[in-house]
Structure 1
């Protein structure tokens, strides 16, 4: 059998990195066997034992944050001002899960007294599901893995990570942190590879899958896991809206929030702001401010000091962004700034796309419904807040939304009517380890982060006990009266 290879490309220069061997289906099967063997003992380690190892991994990761950040930037273009904090934030997430796991996994005593049962007790305990397959994308190649890996390990699962073929070395740097921490052999395994590797892993003898990616691939993962009657946690991106209420004072902060929400990480967040709805009477001044701030963004290679927005992460995504914008313009959308590829002197092979703001985007344009996952945002106006909410809810996605208002009652009114798993008030797309990353509609199923994220990798075992009055037979046993 001929080996296949993955060849990551620096999106700022077009330079192809040294190829890495793609993990074959046979090697995947062997890795799953090794992981299952490791699970037999790992599942019986204490939370304190797991915590100690996770904290060591966090220390190792944090100590090499600068170097790992540069690997991230070389693989997917993210600016160092974001790549290095991604690593330190991932270390903080590891510490968070190490700290909350004991409470998250604590048994729950069940109250039987309303049933008139006094001799029995009952409780639920959280048992690890087994071998967890973690298949994650390129847009935050260390953080995305940690979001699933840390809770899986603290729950008592072993884990096999299949990173994106665009960012394998970032994931291998994370693997090194767990190796340096002294994790038992095969508790954490990273398998570089392409889509065939990921498919082989999902089809293998795993017990739970955590996948982040497209709706189409998410459906395929769900179908495979469904046939096996095994659990999956899916986060399938979004098309997040930002709604500005009339009652908002900090207009400059609102404009800054729109620009940050749309263009940080080159728009490569599942929760990036792709649609903005402004009240008619504030629209002109806010749009002008947004354009000033957008035009001031410095676009260039991610390792250049002072750069705000790096290249689009890979050629496939670059083509998607370009085609979606071209489609919107062809159908009548107005480009307010940006609108196409950008030449950066000295980096002619780079995948740079100008931060783009459009308006009057027709409903039949791809931009109105598809997830762009790039530095593009559409701004529209509204006369009535309920109209803005209705437009925001038209999407088949249901990840997050951002609401800007100084009125708590208005914030609650809008929040309760948005069909999304998350709402940020006066802030876009913020991820906090304690806050569940919740999804709705086609954005997926299950939860990441928070105590709920730990329990996703467990099943509830119900234990009923009677430790008294055991000398006489039960009244309901045979023979029946």
Structure 2
């Protein structure tokens, strides 16, 4: 099959690459060096979305009829291709998004793990047989795909998050329109190219590049049966409001303000390792990133001494440099958001223990923020309540477990929660009472297994989880049947 280069093309609709109807393009640059011009990508609008949804709708009946085991074979072929192209994908993620190359490779591996898990589910998309109330009758349940789905994905995991939507959508028998972030268009195009090269039938998976106009058109299209979205709370609420008038099925993974609790009996070096990984890995640009540390006053200074020493030694630079510990944030908007949040935090009474500034010396012109630790943070201040999405950590004081849990639960989000303690009773107490969807004890508060639900509580999640057998509750709907004989 003839390969195409999606870098110089636009959308992928009905099995072919094509330019957007508007003819407009968006410039894509490397956040580690803004003079590195990656390409100009199609800016799609309503017409492009209509073409893509029409293609998905036309392909639905035949794709559904294949059955999950046959559909899994196509996904398996795509997985093999993606594994062969691992280094190209990782390098593209680093160039577009800015994360370190080792982190980008880990993301590709995570996407492959998710795909592998999903393919294995092909033989478990089952219902139940159950006793009937009538004689000579069999009662049963089974699942059916909901139809065309819109998949709207962010820039922070430009392969893994699209994969954990695309893979279950296609295996379930749905057809899909993927609308990725405009900051990582090439990565999304390379992902879709692998499915194309795996002989996925035309129209089953479509790609529409662009920003708000494309996303709004996808959510509003009457032929779209469900929308799976990962991103901000504000956009998630807008999707829910638009879709409510037609009972649109939604799966919304939204923001987080995740807490890591350090109790008085914690192993401090182990806790510091987890904080470093959770707060500054991928420049803090994860929905499950550790953005708050809630530490018992009796060990606060000891923890801070160890933490600040480690953070001050972290090296910041391009993700292609193997000596670097923290890459850039994704764009100027994120850079300014981080710097402004730090400034407001200081005005609210916090103290900068380290970092707190933009870095430029000896670096290419890019979006570099010094890893920042803010201490003595008031618990009702903005920095303690709202997501920053960058390498900025707020440290708050507490008096024991009850106080720590109260502070951890005081925010409107509930994505991830972590506790460090040697006391098994207190660990399970925290697991019971923390208002978060993904919980951890004595380990980093980021990362998830493909077979466990990726899910939040409160304003962090609406609808079924992702990445687990529970994901089928979004992409399929139940049927029940009674057969007399």
TM-score by structure 1 length? 0.93
Q: Does 1:133 align with 2:145?
A: no
Matches within 5 A, 1:369-380: 369-380=385-396
Q: Residue 224 of structure 2: SS of its match in structure 1?
A: coil
Match of 2:294?
Answer: 277
Say whether the 8 Å CA contact 1:9–1:314 is kept in structure 2.
Answer: no
Match of 1:238?
Answer: 256
Matches within 5 A, 1:47-446: 47-103=68-124, 105-112=125-132, 117-204=134-221, 205-248=223-266, 250-347=267-364, 349-427=365-443, 428-446=445-463
Q: Residue 133 of structure 1: SS of its match in structure 2?
A: strand
Q: Does 1:11 align with 2:31?
A: yes
Q: Residue 184 of structure 1: SS of its match in structure 2?
A: coil
Question: 1:239 deviation in Å?
Answer: 0.5
State the distance in 2 between where 1:344 and 1:118 align: 81
Question: 1:71 deviation in Å?
Answer: 1.0
Change (3 A) 1:64 1:341: same
Deviations 1:112-142 (A, max 9, x none): 4xxx544333211110001111000000111
Change (3 A) 1:344 1:459: farther
State the distance in 2 between where 1:155 and 1:195 align: 28
Question: 1:305 deviation in Å?
Answer: 1.9
TM-score by structure 2 length? 0.92
Q: Residue 425 of structure 2: SS of its match in structure 1?
A: helix
Gaps of 5+ in 2: 1-20
Match of 1:477?
Answer: none
Question: 1:2 deviation in Å?
Answer: 4.9
Q: Does 1:28 align with 2:84?
A: no
Q: In the comparison of the two structures, how many residue pairs are matched?
A: 461
State the distance in 1 between where 2:131 and 2:95 align: 56
Question: 1:3 deviation in Å?
Answer: 2.9
Question: 1:99 deviation in Å?
Answer: 0.6
Deviations 1:204-227 (A, max 9, x none): 120111001111100111112211
Deviations 1:287-332 (A, max 9, x none): 1111122112111011112211100111111111111111001222
Deviations 1:380-427 (A, max 9, x none): 221221011000101000111011122222111011111111211122
Deviations 1:5-61 (A, max 9, x none): 221221111124321121221111011011011111001112221111111111111
Tell me which stretches of 4 or more aligned residues in structure 1 moved more than 4 Å: none
State the distance in 2 between where 1:119 and 1:245 align: 61
Q: Does 1:456 align with 2:474?
A: yes
Q: Residue 43 of structure 1: SS of its match in structure 2?
A: helix
State the distance in 2 between where 1:431 and 1:68 align: 21
Q: Residue 448 of structure 1: SS of its match in structure 2?
A: coil
State the distance in 2 between where 1:151 and 1:206 align: 16
Question: 1:344 deviation in Å?
Answer: 4.1
Say whether the 8 Å CA contact 1:126–1:460 is kept in structure 2.
Answer: yes
State the distance in 2 between where 1:188 and 1:338 align: 44
Q: Residue 456 of structure 1: SS of its match in structure 2?
A: helix
Question: 1:364 deviation in Å?
Answer: 4.7
Gaps of 5+ in 1: 468-481
State the distance in 2 between where 1:86 and 1:126 align: 31
Say whether the 8 Å CA contact 2:401–2:426 is kept in structure 1.
Answer: no
